[in-house]
Amino acid sequence: MNSFPNELETLREAWSHLDQRVSEFESTQRRAHHSYALNIQSIAEIIIAGITLWLAGGLLGSHFNLVLSKPWGAVPALAHYALSIATISLAIRRLVLTSELKWDSPVSEAALRVAKLERLTIRTTGVAFVAGLILWIVFPVFIAQVLFGYEMAFIVPATYWILNMFFGLVVAVGAFLLLRKQPAGSKLRRGLEGFMLGTALARARDELQRANEFKVVPR
Amino acid sequence: MLRKNSRSRIQIGGVEQFLLDHQSILARIARAYSRNPDERSDLLQEIRYQIIKSFPSYQPDRNSSTWLYRVALNCAISFRRKADRWSAPEMDWESIPAPSATQEPDPRAEHLQRLIELLDPLHRALLVLYLDDLSHAEIAEVLGISVANVATRLSRIRQQLRSLHDKEQKA
């Protein structure tokens, strides 16, 4: 193509040509859609976090005197309690944003809601990942306390905490090595980089800003 | 119950015809938001599903294309964002499939496809509507922005495309 079409009008013919090429794909196999996936995920998170909240609340309530006299033993339950509340509130926020998304609303409005939902999803996953690494250490202790009593927190040796922290470190190094082994253009590498370097969240923020600005006439 | 069932049947028949009548629009939108054939097939299914799901809110006395463009573009933008959630797609222009031997190769179509992919999802929507021959007022209604905004942004897209073209020529 040697000369640039001065007006977009001249590209309309090319546009209709694309339409013909696309119609070839009309007969491709039907695939299951995943529209409900996010809602199902949010509901599952609420149920699991609700159960955890109930277990943590029950443990703290039934050993209230011990909690006051030996507060360190309450750390696993309090960590789960806080995470459960955060999970439930984020999942509810996601459900609300999803329900507010009206598909036949003006594109600029819907895009704004989609951008907000994306930012929330990326942020939630990041928080869940970090919390998961921390809770990996306290989760078995919490379960032991629920099953066998509050005192279980004090029979866990220091080596347990050290080994579990070491395991977290191994996971982080493993992820880094996996990242380096992938070719520069691979989707996995870009995805991991986007997550670990925070570029995915930065991009989601940019998208939200662009969606906000789209309604205003540019200067 | 019988009345409800017969209404559903009418509605299902209506939406099927509606999808048939507008399939070329849906195909063009899917093309603008996905280069990969498998992904595009998924997107088309997703758009059809959302149209069927949103069809009860469709009012035949109102402009049908405005409603259709809104649902399809909203679905395509959401799909694109989900697909690019953790990593933005790399701009690999060489990987755009070449026209098949049975078709007339149109270099402008290839060029246009590349240019569309360089725009963000909202500006893509604007360009798609423009290329589909909608007036500035109709574009404004679909997008929910002012007519002046449409005109200004189209002018910016023209400038952007021109500078991209110049860059390509130099390369």
The complex scores an ipTM of 0.77
Which residues 6+ apart lie within 8 Å of A111 measured at CB? A211, A214, B74, B77, B121, B122
Percent of chain A with pLDDT over 70: 81
Query: Do A19 and B24 make contact, defined as CB atoms within 8 angstroms?
Result: yes
> Residue B86 carries which side chain, given as an amino acid letter?
W
Architecture in CATH for domain B1-85? Orthogonal Bundle (1.10)
The rounded percent of chain B whose pLDDT value lies above 90 is: 26
Q: Which fold has domain B106-171?
A: Arc Repressor Mutant, subunit A (1.10.10)
The predicted structure's pLDDT at residue A18: 64
Q: Do B87 and A211 lie within an 8 Å CB cutoff?
A: no
Does the pTM of the predicted model rise above 0.90? no
pLDDT of residue A33: 46
Q: pLDDT tier at B105 (50, 70, 90 boundaries)?
A: low
The Cβ of residue B130 has, within 10 Å, a number of other Cβ atoms equal to 21
B4 pLDDT exceeds 50?
Answer: no
**Which H or E run contains A5?**
none
Taking the Cβ of residue B23 and every Cβ of chain A, the question of whether any pair is shorter than 8 Å is answered with: yes
> CA separation (Å) from B104 to A137, A146, B98, B132?
63, 70, 11, 21
Model confidence at A30, pLDDT cuts 50, 70, 90, reads very low
- Are A210 and B145 within 8 A, CB to CB? no
Angle at B80 between CA B47 and CA A121, to 5 degrees: 110
Contact between A22 and B53 using a beta-carbon 8 Å cutoff: no
- Map out the domains of chain B as residue ranges: 1-85, 106-171
Rounded to a whole number, what is the distance in Å from the CA of B5 to chain A's nearest CA?
Answer: 25
Ordered by start, the domain boundaries in chain A are 35-214
* Angle CA B83–A178–B78, to nearest 5: 10
